[in-house]
Amino acid sequence: MTRPVARRRACTRAASTAHRPTAPAGRTVLGIVPSRGVRARRGTKQRKRFEFAVGVLIGLLLVGSLLLVAGCRLSTSSAAEPRIVGTDYVVFLDLSMSVRADDRALMKSALTDQIIPTLVDGDHLVVASITDRTMTGFHPLVDESLPPTPDFNGWTDNLLKYRKQVNDVEMQVPKIKERITREISAALDRHQGSMQTDIFSSLLLTEKLFHNEARRKVLVLMSDMIEDYAPYRFEKVAWTPEAAGTILKRLEKDDMLPNLSGVCVYVAGASADSPLQAEQISAFWQSYFKRTGADMDMSRYAHVLLHWPPASSCGS
């Protein structure tokens, strides 16, 4: 009896041992330890995430550095080569003895009520008289520049300092315009005109005044536009259809045609003894300014200053 019972117990133990699940590799009492392949895959994913994060961080640092360098270069470039803004105005006044008092009043009104009020920061104004010695005795009645608004670089400039600079400019501009108005009024009241009007020489001087000027260029001629200087005395010209061409050829031969390319031209004060003469003289000036390359639309040729201020396209 003893041997069969012992045999059955041994068989039972063997059967239970055979059906007991075998612990997977890496199983411990506390849990399952991942296999070597699983651990490798997890390590690869973590390494890729780390490398991606480092790449993004480096990229952001590079972009920030490039923007900072670009800002510094822009600031340096702006300091070396200031941004050109504003308009360069040249105004010639015909103050010859033949100009009547009411015409002088119109000139003064055009300057003080139209031209000067439209000046803005960065503009430059020269006012001079047309005389018989324009080329040899040039002396402007007014030569003033308005300070430009400073540029702002968000990378390098201090905002508070910039606002202070802008406020300073905004305070200076009205004061300068008031001073120009006083100087113009005083100059017109005391100025003694010349006996003759040399418009051609004034236009040659205009080319010199605008030479290498990067700002927009505007010329205002306050004159009756009757040249009164030998050998071009308009009142003695027989205005035939060929007269204008003959005068232009002579001017070209004498090197008296300036280069006024890109100059916006206004004429205020045009006059003549008769409507026919006025039409003939205006036709001559239209041809003249076309030859010089100036932007002269006949809508801006009149006895008073019309279509002011200039359109942004004028002279461009």
pLDDT class for 223, splitting at 50, 70, 90?
Answer: very high
* For residue 26, pLDDT beyond 50: no
Answer for the pair 258, 165: CB distance below 8 angstroms, yes or no. Answer: no
Average pLDDT over residues 279-288: 96
pLDDT tens readout for residues 129-148: 998 777 777 889 999 999 98
Element housing 142 (H / E): strand 142-145
Q: For residue 222, which phi and psi values (nearest 5 degrees)?
A: -100, 90
Give me the mean pLDDT over the 190-211 stretch.
Answer: 86
Considering only residues 119 and 155, tell me which one the structure prediction assigns the higher pLDDT. Answer: 119
Q: Each residue of 51-92: pLDDT tens digit?
A: 777 666 776 776 555 555 455 444 444 443 445 579 999 999
User: Kindly report the CA angle at 21 between 17 and 27, in degrees rounded to 5?
Assistant: 120
Six-digit token pair at 94? 């015909």
pLDDT at site 187: 84
299, pLDDT greater than 70? yes
The pLDDT of residue 65 is 59
Q: Which helix (H) or strand (E) holds 109?
A: helix 101-109
Burial class (CB in 10 A: 0-12, 13-18, 19+), 112: middle
Mean pLDDT of all residues in 217-238: 91
Q: What is the pLDDT of residue 59?
A: 67
Ranges 2-6, 52-56, 257-261: which has the least confidence? 2-6
Q: Identify the band that residue 316 occupies on the pLDDT scale cut at 50, 70 and 90.
A: confident
pLDDT beyond 70 at 21 = no
Cα separation, 219 vs 266, whole angstroms? 6
Q: Indicate if the pLDDT at residue 169 is higher than 50.
A: yes
- CA separation for the pair 248, 199 (Å, rounded): 14
Other C-beta atoms closer than 10 Å to the C-beta of 311 total: 12
Instruction: List the one residue out of 201, 258, 253 whose CA is nearest residue 229.
Output: 201
Residue with tokens 């239209």: 286
Residues 123 and 89 sit within 8 Å (Cβ to Cβ): yes
pLDDT at 144: 94
Residue 1 reports pLDDT greater than 50 = no
Provide mean pLDDT across the span 106-130. Answer: 95
Contacts of 169 (CB under 8 A, 6+ apart): 121, 147, 148, 149, 150
Rounded percentage of the chain residues whose pLDDT exceeds 90? 48
Name the average pLDDT for the chain. Answer: 81
168 has a pLDDT exceeding 50:
yes
| CA gap 106, 305 in Å, rounded | 9
